[in-house]
Amino acid sequence: MIDLRSDTVTKPTNEMKSFMMDAKLGDDVFEDDPSVRHLEDMAASMFGKEAGLFCPSGTMTNQIALMTHLKPGDEVICSRESHIYNYEGGGIARNAGASVRLIERKTGLLTVSDIADNINPDDVHQPVTKLVALENTCNRGGGNCYDINEIKAIKEFCDKIGLPVHLDGARLFNAIVKKGHSAEDYGACFDSISICLSKGLGAPLGSLLLGDAHFIKTARRNRKVLGGGMRQVGIVASAGTYALNHHVDRLKDDHEHAQIIANALANCSWINQVLDVETNIIVASLKDDFEPLKFLQKLEDDGVLAIPFGKGKIRMVTHLDVSSENVEKVVESLKF
Ligand SMILES: *Cc1c(COP(=O)(O)O)cnc(C)c1O
């Protein structure tokens, strides 16, 4: 099977596994695991941040960021398409006790005026606007990336009024590779950043939350509350270190593969439209009379897995375990 359901399906490579086997371990709740500390420090310094926190998942790093920035009754501004709103089990309300201001934009990318227009006035009737959360790349937008100038404008605006900005950077390295800016460039634009090691980077699990030392200290407390304090977890944190050292530059291969598949999809008689591909995600809508589930079944019969992605749409994602030969086979499978 060629599995294009998500870039989360990758298996650790043999090189990654042997690196994991050699990891030095300790009890990370005592902050005694050298492999975890190395990963947290390495990632923090890549992004020009003071500190990092290793967590089991990207949902947890986002939720901890929300809990750390917000208190009950505060409000976060984010896109209607965002992962924190759609795919984290209502955690904004449940874990942070916060209210949410959704911006309707199909691309999932916000502008500085979206934010300026949605800050509540100092009025007892309204929740207090306390956080802006962006997503880059944007999953529901089809893996699209912000123009860094828009991000800079947002940060500059928010700094003026003392509003922190969080980034759900689950696939930030895809944007880094695509746009050619450095990790530090992005680091300077956010108060906190969440990064997934288990997507395109190919680690079996793990996400990092980055921020200043004081923020991460409180975040560490919130991680414990959620049951995310782990013990000899350097065994998997080391996979993240390996991924950051070896699996970043190759993301451009995934982007090329996604473009090839998108071109083939555009020629498929069942397909109405394919969103522009910028990184490793392909989102396509089917023509009115065509059923996504039937389309996906036809592909599955041919050895290709993809997922339905909202009304009339499908999603495919390229990753470490999809070779150029696999891509050729997918292109052949799409000739119907
Ligand atoms: C995958 C993802 C996350 C985190 O998901 P986990 O499965 O909890 O690791 C967060 N945001 C975006 C945009 C994602 O795609």
Compute the distance between CA of residue 169 and CA of residue 192 in angstroms, rounded to an integer: 10
Q: What does the pLDDT look like over 4-54, one tens digit per residue?
A: 999 999 999 999 999 999 999 999 999 999 999 999 999 999 999 999 999
- Element containing residue 75 per DSSP (H, E): strand 74-79
Residue bearing the CA closest to ligand 1, atom 3: 58
Predicted TM-score (pTM) of this structure? 0.97
| CATH tag, 13-246 | 3.40.640.10
Measured in Å, residue 174 CA sits from the centre of ligand 1 at 14
Q: What does the pLDDT look like over 122-152, one tens digit per residue?
A: 999 999 999 999 999 999 999 999 999 999 9
List where CATH 3.90.1150.10 sits in the chain.
Answer: 250-333
Residue bearing the CA closest to ligand 1, atom 14: 170
Cα–Cα distance list, 15 to 117, 209, 249 (Å): 50, 25, 17
DSSP 96-116: S--EEEEE--TT----HHHHH
Nearest-CA neighbor of 43 among 326, 295, 244?
244
Q: Looking at the CA of residue 135, tell me the nearest atom of ligand 1.
A: 13
pLDDT of residue 141: 94
pLDDT of residue 140: 94
Residues 6+ apart with CB under 8 A from 249: 177
List where CATH 3.40.640.10 sits in the chain.
Answer: 13-246
Residue 144 · residue 137 · CB < 8 Å? yes
> Across the chain, what does the average pLDDT equal?
97
Q: What does the pLDDT look like over 221-238, one tens digit per residue?
A: 999 999 999 999 999 999
State yes or no: pLDDT of 336 exceeds 90.
Answer: no
Q: What does the pLDDT look like over 236-261, one tens digit per residue?
A: 999 999 999 999 999 999 999 999 99
| CATH tag, 250-333 | 3.90.1150.10
Nearest-CA neighbor of 137 among 123, 125, 147?
147
Compute the distance between CA of residue 316 and CA of residue 217 in angstroms, rounded to an integer: 38
List residues near ligand 1 (CB under 6 A): 57-59, 62, 83, 135, 139, 168, 170, 196, 207
Q: Looking at the CA of residue 62, tell me the nearest atom of ligand 1.
A: 10
Q: What does the pLDDT look like over 107-123, one tens digit per residue?
A: 999 999 999 999 999 99
Compute the distance between CA of residue 164 and CA of residue 99 in angstroms, rounded to an integer: 16
Cα-Cα end-to-end distance for the chain: 19
Pocket residue to mutate for ligand 1, from 5, 82, 92, 196, most atoms within 8 A of Cβ: 196
Measured in Å, residue 332 CA sits from the centre of ligand 1 at 30
Compute the distance between CA of residue 170 and CA of residue 174 in angstroms, rounded to an integer: 9
